[in-house]
């Protein structure tokens, strides 16, 4: 007889509206124009998604220089790109399709508005992440400074502390960001910024669901890739909320079964770039070891939908 395992499935989990739009952009480009479709950077940070699209004819590159002169579409990933990238694509006469999430574009616009109003901008985010590189690259070098921690707030030297603004990466930890914003407002009471931060609805809701489940379980499995910021944050949130074991896995084959010995309650969630089919694969793997009793724990209902980039919409309408 298999031991029983109570499974708490976090909801919402997995794909957000921006990820659906980004993947659909590549799929739609492939079906309209045929292979190859070039994609600058992983369309979303998920190996399974990238490999599936590659099998259908997508070619992934890190930089435009890697793309030969071509009429094939060139897609920019969901994370956004510095302004120099669309300019370079235009110079090379590429047919570009921008799959930047509209909620990242919104942050780019905020940055531009602050800049036009003469404000020095602080970006709260993780150095080197493509979204951060893209947001920094919306404005001339030096216009935006990156801050990663509360300590960075203390050491930041503004040009004029009455003309400061902040923006954030969309996939940060809600709790860490709250602390950084608090420190920023304490030190610079006149700092301009969004109502709270720029963390997106999907990041927020997935963290809220993990918070509801973390204290109920002995272990938490987060489906997602190691380079996925929002997925990493879910693992962190689970741990910080008192879940004794939290792991990030890309596939069921990565599960270390010694870690789950003796557990009776398990939480499962998935990052915004992780497909539901992998959640099902993980559930299937646990079902081989345990008798499962599954309960969904819901933190929010999501209805967001983002239409495809304009060139693909027009072609769709003409059909
Ligand atoms: O940056 C974004 C617009 C989120 C895209 C979806 O998630 P993912 O895993 O590709 O990217 P993050 O590393 O930013 O979470
Ligand atoms: Fe956009 Fe947030 Fe998803 S920024 S791509 S809705 S994780």
Q: What is the CATH number of the domain that holds 32?
A: 3.40.50.11270
The answer to which of 25-39, 184-198, 305-319 has the lowest mean pLDDT is: 305-319
Q: Would you say the CB of residue 18 lies under 6 angstroms from ligand 2?
A: yes
Residue 316 lies in a domain: no
The verdict on 80 and 90 lying in the same domain is: yes
Residue 50 lies in a domain: yes
Q: Report the pLDDT averaged over residues 15-42.
A: 98
φ and ψ at residue 214, rounded to 5 degrees: -50, -40
User: What pLDDT does residue 315 have?
Assistant: 59
At residue 109, does pLDDT exceed 70? yes
Q: Report the pLDDT averaged over residues 176-197.
A: 98
| CA-CA-CA-CA torsion sign (22, 24, 30, 33) | negative
Question: How far is the CA of 298 from the CAs of 10, 67, 240, 249, in angstroms?
Answer: 6, 44, 20, 22
How many distinct structural domains can be found in the chain? 3
Residue 311 lies in a domain: no
Q: Report the pLDDT averaged over residues 18-33.
A: 98
Q: Would you say the CB of residue 170 lies under 6 angstroms from ligand 1?
A: yes
Question: How far is the CA of 113 from the CAs of 117, 137, 262, in angstroms?
Answer: 6, 15, 55
Q: Report the pLDDT averaged over residues 268-273.
A: 99
> What Rg, from alpha-carbon coordinates, does the chain have?
21
Q: In angstroms, what is the span from residue 6 Cα to ligand 2's centroid? A: 30
Split at pLDDT 50, 70, 90, the class of 316 is low
Q: Would you say the CB of residue 125 lies under 6 angstroms from ligand 1?
A: no
Return the DSSP state at 125: S
CB 11 within 8 A of CB 299: yes
At residue 71, does pLDDT exceed 70? yes
The verdict on 172 and 209 lying in the same domain is: no
User: What pLDDT does residue 76 have?
Assistant: 99
* pLDDT tens-digit map of 115-153: 999 999 999 999 999 999 999 999 999 999 999 999 999
The verdict on 157 and 167 lying in the same domain is: yes
Q: Would you say the CB of residue 271 lies under 6 angstroms from ligand 1?
A: yes
The verdict on 208 and 291 lying in the same domain is: yes
The b/e string for 61-81 (b: 16+ C-beta within 10 A; e otherwise) is eeebeebeeeebbbbbbbbbb
φ and ψ at residue 97, rounded to 5 degrees: -125, 120
Question: Ligand 2: which atom is nearest the Cα of residue 17?
Answer: 6
Q: Would you say the CB of residue 275 lies under 6 angstroms from ligand 1?
A: no
Residue with CA at minimum distance from ligand 1 atom 2:
79
The verdict on 96 and 171 lying in the same domain is: no
User: What pLDDT does residue 207 have?
Assistant: 99
Q: Report the pLDDT averaged over residues 192-205.
A: 98
* Ligand lying closest to the C-alpha of residue 206: 2
Q: In angstroms, what is the span from residue 83 Cα to ligand 2's centroid? A: 20
Q: Which residues are catalytic?
A: 131
The whole-angstrom separation of Cα 47 and Cα 280 is: 17
The verdict on 226 and 249 lying in the same domain is: yes
At residue 202, does pLDDT exceed 60? yes
For residue 128, what are the domain limits?
103-187
Residue 96 lies in a domain: yes
- What are the tokens at 131? 């979204």
Residue 246: exposure state from Cβ atoms within 10 A (0-12, 13-18, ≥19): buried
Q: In angstroms, what is the span from residue 16 Cα to ligand 2's centroid? A: 6
At residue 78, does pLDDT exceed 70? yes
User: What pLDDT does residue 314 have?
Assistant: 63
At residue 317, does pLDDT exceed 70? no
User: What pLDDT does residue 65 have?
Assistant: 98
Question: Ligand 2: which atom is nearest the Cα of residue 103?
Answer: 4
Split at pLDDT 50, 70, 90, the class of 319 is low
* pLDDT tens-digit map of 29-44: 999 999 999 999 999 9
The whole-angstrom separation of Cα 187 and Cα 277 is: 46
Helix (H, G, I), strand (E, B) or coil at 248: strand
The verdict on 255 and 294 lying in the same domain is: yes
Q: Report the pLDDT averaged over residues 43-67.
A: 99
The b/e string for 3-24 (b: 16+ C-beta within 10 A; e otherwise) is eebbbbbbbbbbbbbbbbbbbb
Q: What is the mean pLDDT of the chain?
A: 97
Split at pLDDT 50, 70, 90, the class of 297 is very high
End residue of a domain, out of 58, 78, 101: 101
The CATH number given to whatever domain includes residue 222 is 3.40.1010.20
Q: What is the pTM of this model?
A: 0.97
Residue 307 lies in a domain: no
The verdict on 278 and 268 lying in the same domain is: yes
Q: In angstroms, what is the span from residue 319 Cα to ligand 1's centroid? A: 32
């Amino acid at each position: 007889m298999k031991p029983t395992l109570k499974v708490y499935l976090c909801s919402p989990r997995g794909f957000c509206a921006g990820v659906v739009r980004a993947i659909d952009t590549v799929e739609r480009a492939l079906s309209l124009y045929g292979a190859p479709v070039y994609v600058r950077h992983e369309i979303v940070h998920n190996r399974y998604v990238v490999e599936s699209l590659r099998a259908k004819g997508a070619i992934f590159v890190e930089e435009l220089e890697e793309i030969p002169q071509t009429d094939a579409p060139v897609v920019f990933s969901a994370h956004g790109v510095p302004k120099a990238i669309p300019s370079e694509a235009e110079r090379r006469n590429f047919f570009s399709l921008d799959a930047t999430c509209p909620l990242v574009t919104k942050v780019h616009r905020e940055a531009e508005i602050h800049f036009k109003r003469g404000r020095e901008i602080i970006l709260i985010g993780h150095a080197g992440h493509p979204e951060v590189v893209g947001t920094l690259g919306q404005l001339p070098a030096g216009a935006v400074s990156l801050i990663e921690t509360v300590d960075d707030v203390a050491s930041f030297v503004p040009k004029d502390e009455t003309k400061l603004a902040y923006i954030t990466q969309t996939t940060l930890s809600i709790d860490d960001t709250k602390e950084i914003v608090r420190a920023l407002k304490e030190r610079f009471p006149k700092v301009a910024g969004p109502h709270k931060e720029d963390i997106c609805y999907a990041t927020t809701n997935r963290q809220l669901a993990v918070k509801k489940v973390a204290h109920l379980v002995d272990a938490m499995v987060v489906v997602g890739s190691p380079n996925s910021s929002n997925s990493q944050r879910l693992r962190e949130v689970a741990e910080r909320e008192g879940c004794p074991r939290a792991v990030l896995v890309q596939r069921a084959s990565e599960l270390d079964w010694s870690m789950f010995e003796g557990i009776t309650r398990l939480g499962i969630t998935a990052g915004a770039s992780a497909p539901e089919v992998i959640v099902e694969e993980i559930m299937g793997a646990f079902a081989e070891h345990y008798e499962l009793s599954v309960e969904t724990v819901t933190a929010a209902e999501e209805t967001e939908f983002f239409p495809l980039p304009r060139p693909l919409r027009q072609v769709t309408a003409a059909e």
